Amino acid sequence: MKSGKFITLEGIDGAGKSTQLDLLAALLQQKGLPVVVTREPGGTPLGEQLRTVLLDQSVTMHAETEALLMFAARREHLDKVIVPALNDGSWVISDRFTDASFAYQGGGRGLNWEKLALLEQWVQDTLQPDLTLYFDVPVELGQQRVSSVKTPDRFEQEQKNFFQRVRVAYLRRANQFPARIQVIDARQSVTAVSAAVQQALEKLIDVITDE
Ligand SMILES: Nc1ncnc2c1ncn2[C@@H]1O[C@H](COP(=O)(O)OP(=O)(O)O)[C@@H](O)[C@H]1O
Ligand SMILES: Cc1cn([C@H]2C[C@H](O)[C@@H](COP(=O)(O)OP(=O)(O)O)O2)c(=O)[nH]c1=O
């Protein structure tokens, strides 16, 4: 039985997710909570191999192949890491999860939303994150932050229009699931964004305490 909590972090590339993930993990640890940090695509040996292929700029694939590989990696991730850790009472924090498939493959690549929903249902059944932090930034800002860091991967090399569609799809998901997805204005400083994350976390802890 699931007794831990599942938090996912989402946003376009350069939104500041990874920065906030480290801060959030430290915050939970300070509270004495057992934390498992993981990421998608990846998180398992097979998932990391799939990640290498999915991010490789020299690889081309059909958009549905891309979606199926994302969900294949996720199936493995749930089985080997997420579900066991939640059953153990850990707080699992994942750098991206299924909302990214709706945003990137649905919004970015234009895949059918209903097909993605079928894959979600197949792979997750009823399991959903307890809290999703969506870091919202304008595309230009995300691109500026990424370009100063490293050479772009297969997604980061996409044009501005692609990321605009990704952002719109994230906001569509946030509208669809307002109780789960917390939209955070990630244009702010690292400290201000972190304060918003902390607030969302305290709200989740309050809900748990009241249960
Ligand atoms: N709130 C922020 N303000 C300014 N720069 C930021 C902020 N958050 C992250 N950064 C910087 O932007 C770059 C991308 O951040 P990162 O956390 O790796 O983003 P993501 O994981 O969403 O791609 C890094 O150089 C990071 O230091
Ligand atoms: C989980 C997931 C990620 N992605 C993409 C989004 C990112 O561009 C990429 C890898 O994510 P990420 O780990 O954020 O990359 P980085 O470490 O370079 O910040 O995979 C999808 O397209 N669909 C998905 O379902």
pLDDT at 207: 85
* Confidence at residue 148, expressed as pLDDT on a 0 to 100 scale: 64
CB of 13 sitting under 6 A from ligand 1: yes
Handedness of CA 179, 195, 197, 35 (dihedral sign): negative
**Residue 104 CB–ligand 2 contact under 6 Å:** yes
The string of pLDDT tens digits covering residues 149-180 is 678 899 988 999 999 999 999 999 999 999 99
Question: pLDDT (tens digit, 9 = 90+) per residue, 86-127?
Answer: 999 999 999 999 999 999 999 999 999 999 999 999 999 999
**Domain at 5-210, CATH homologous superfamily:** P-loop containing nucleotide triphosphate hydrolases (3.40.50.300)
| Integer Cα distance of 151 and 153 in angstroms | 7
- Beta carbon of 175 within 6 Å of any ligand 1 atom: no
CA distance 6 to 129: 5
Give the atom of ligand 1 at the shortest distance from the alpha carbon of 21. Answer: 17
Closest ligand 2 atom to 108 CA = 22
Q: 75-102 in b/e burial notation, b at 16+ Cβ within 10 A?
A: bbbbeebbbebbeeebbbbbbbbbbbbb
Binding site for ATP: residue ranges?
11-18
| Cβ of residue 165 lying under 6 Å from some atom of ligand 2 | no
| Per-chain mean pLDDT for the chain | 95
pLDDT(24) > 90: yes
Residues in CB range of 135: below 8 A, 6 or more apart: 9, 10, 11, 15, 16, 17, 20, 184, 186, 193
Give the atom of ligand 1 at the shortest distance from the alpha carbon of 187.
1
- CA of 144 from ligand 1 middle (Å) equals 10
User: Binding site: residue ranges?
Assistant: 11-18
Which pLDDT score is estimated for 150? Answer: 72
Question: What percentage of the chain reaches a pLDDT higher than 70?
Answer: 99
Select from 12, 19, 24 the residue to mutate for testing ligand 1; criterion: most ligand atoms less than 8 Å from CB: 19
| pLDDT of the residue at 206 | 86
Q: Provide long-range contacts, Cβ within 8 A and 24+ apart, for 185-188.
A: 185/136, 186/11, 186/15, 186/16, 186/135, 186/136, 186/137, 187/137, 187/138, 187/141
Which ligand is located closest to the Cα atom of residue 13? Answer: 1
- pLDDT for position 149: 62
Q: How confident is the model at residue 3 (pLDDT cuts 50, 70, 90)?
A: confident
158 C-beta closer than 6 A to ligand 2: no
Residue 208: pLDDT band (50, 70, 90) is: confident
Question: 14 C-alpha to center of ligand 1: Å?
Answer: 5
Distance (angstroms) between ligand 1 centre and the Cα of 189 equals 10
Question: Ligand 2, atom 4: nearest CA belongs to which residue?
Answer: 100
Quick: pLDDT tens for 125-154. Answer: 999 999 999 999 999 999 988 876 678 899
